[in-house]
Structure 1
Amino acid sequence: MQTQLPIKELKKALRLEALARRDALPADYRSNASLQIADHGLPAIALSPGEIVSGFWPIRSEVDLRPLLFALRDKGARLCLPVIVDKQTIIFRELVKHMPMIETGFGTSGPHEDAPVVDPTFMLVPLAAFDERGHRIGYGAGYYDRAIARLQGLGVNPRLLGIAFDCQKVETVPDEPHDVPLEAILTESGLRSFGSIDKAN
């Protein structure tokens, strides 16, 4: 326990610094960079027919992932978005055409509760900061860490692709035993791959 507090404090400082850099990006830069992310990501991501891909609707100054998500749907992917169930848990509901979006917690929007709950096999993961090893710092609530662990417990080992702007890169993310490294990071400058993100199951 004595070694965890400094790591958490360091993660918090790195998170705040990276998010401040992201917040400082002009809106037109974020819009153009989001389109570049879609352009880089679409040819690099290999999917099996009907594969379930989780994404996220942008909040605050996040990457607008919608261009990439819709392009992946055109390639045959089934899309889903995270929904906060309680302070510990997120589930994923399928993004079904013509079904209304609702507020789903933490400032996010997601599919209506009538949408099917699914288990993604490919996850586009939001983050606050990342390093060149594929380690990420989330927003501090641990939702994705627990969701990934739950999926792995079910025998689903989703491929993990982090989504960020270049300015969110830090020199080193202090990792802990429970942290799951990403297979790749996708930014406006391209794909940094650490695993087999470009190989379909």
Structure 2
Amino acid sequence: MRHSSSGSEPDKRTLRRQFLAVRNRLTADDVRATGAALADRALELPELTHARTVAAYVSVGSEPATLALLDALRARGVRVLLPVLLPDNDLDWAPYAGEDSLQLVRHGGKMALLEPAGARLGPAAVQEADAVLLPGLAVDARGMRLGRGGGSYDRVLARLERAGADPALVVLLYAPEVVERVPEEPHDRPVHAVVTPEGVRRFR
């Protein structure tokens, strides 16, 4: 799949619609099956093998399923931090204590998200992570990620950079979402690796 790199937001909006349309055709069984394979591939990453703290997220809808991976990390003794969306689109963090500890939270006109019910640790807690698992819609050959457009993870990445923190940045996707090029803007930061149900690709 070939995409231009004009860097303009309208291009990003068009691409987001295209990738979401493909995802929305997946069945619940498709998502479940790929989630198990995604966990297997991700758990082979040295960055996750040696991590003590991983900042992750709970997938919703047709996103690549993350619960199997979250549970496997927790079973390894890894401290897993999950995001809590704030009114200004920034992210607070709370520890993952198993699927039963998640609650469905509706954020106005935005999508409903599964969020941890535990004590909030503050937006700076992500700086303690050895690895950060990022949602996205696509990543290109340079490691540039196309997000959903809310800007929450742009803030997270900027916060990590300001703090001098350098965790492994890993995006979780379906294989067709690894493309030649996506539009980028000056604030965009490349990720270190992408994990799909089929395998891992590194960018630096």
CA contact (8 A) 1:21 1:168 kept: no
2:126 equivalent to 1:143? no
Determine the structure 2 residue equivalent to 1:62.
63
CA distance in 1, matches of 2:15, 2:79: 34
- Say whether residues 1:164 and 2:173 are aligned partners: yes
Distance in 2, matches of 1:49 and 1:188, equals: 21
CA gap of 1:94–1:174, structure 2 versus 1, over 3 A, is same
- Deviations 1:33-75, CA, capped at 9 Å, x for gaps: 1111111111224347662111111212111111112112222
Which residue of the partner structure matches residue 128 of structure 1?
137
Structure 1: distance between partners of 2:177 and 2:48:
27
Q: Distance in 1 between matches of 2:98 and 2:130?
A: 20
1:198 is aligned to: none
**3-state SS in 1 of match to 2:114:** strand
- CA–CA separation in structure 2 for the residues paired with 1:103 and 1:114: 16
**CA–CA distance in structure 2, aligned partners of residues 116 and 172 of structure 1:** 36
**74-83 or 177-186, larger mean C-alpha shift:** 74-83
Tell me if structure 1 keeps the 8 A contact 2:47–2:168: no
> Which moved further from structure 2: 39-48 or 61-70?
39-48
Equivalent residue number for residue 89 of structure 1? 90
- Partners of 1:145 and 1:132 lie apart in 2 by 19
The yes-or-no answer on 1:31 pairing with 2:40 is no
Q: What root-mean-square deviation, in Å, do the aligned CA atoms of Structure 1 and Structure 2 show?
A: 2.2
Conserved in 2, the CA contact under 8 Å of 1:130 and 1:168?
yes
Written as runs of structure 1 = structure 2, the 5 A alignment for 1:173-184 is: 173-184=182-193
Alpha-carbon distance in structure 2 between the residues aligned to 1:50 and 1:18: 31
- The residue number in structure 1 matching 2:3 is none
Match of 2:112 among 86, 107, 110: 107
Summarize deviations over 1:88-136 as a string: whole Å, max 9, x none.
3112211135973234444112112525443233111000122222111
**5+ long unaligned stretches in structure 2:** 1-5
In 1, Cα distance between equivalents of 2:25 and 2:46: 29
Could you say if the C-alpha distance between residues 33 and 121 of structure 1 is closer, same or farther in structure 2, counting changes exceeding 3 Å? same
% identical equivalent positions = 31
Shift of 1:151: 2.3
1:17 Cα deviation from its structure 2 partner: 0.5
Count of residue pairs the alignment pairs up: 191
Structure 2 length-normalised TM: 0.84
Structure 1 unaligned runs (5+)?
A: 196-201
TM-score w.r.t. length of structure 1: 0.85
1:173 CA drift (Å): 0.6
Q: Which moved more, 1:120-129 or 1:25-34?
A: 25-34
Aligned 8 A contact 1:21 1:167 in 2? no
Measured at CA, do residues 49 and 133 of structure 1 come closer, stay the same or move farther in structure 2, by a change above 3 Å? closer
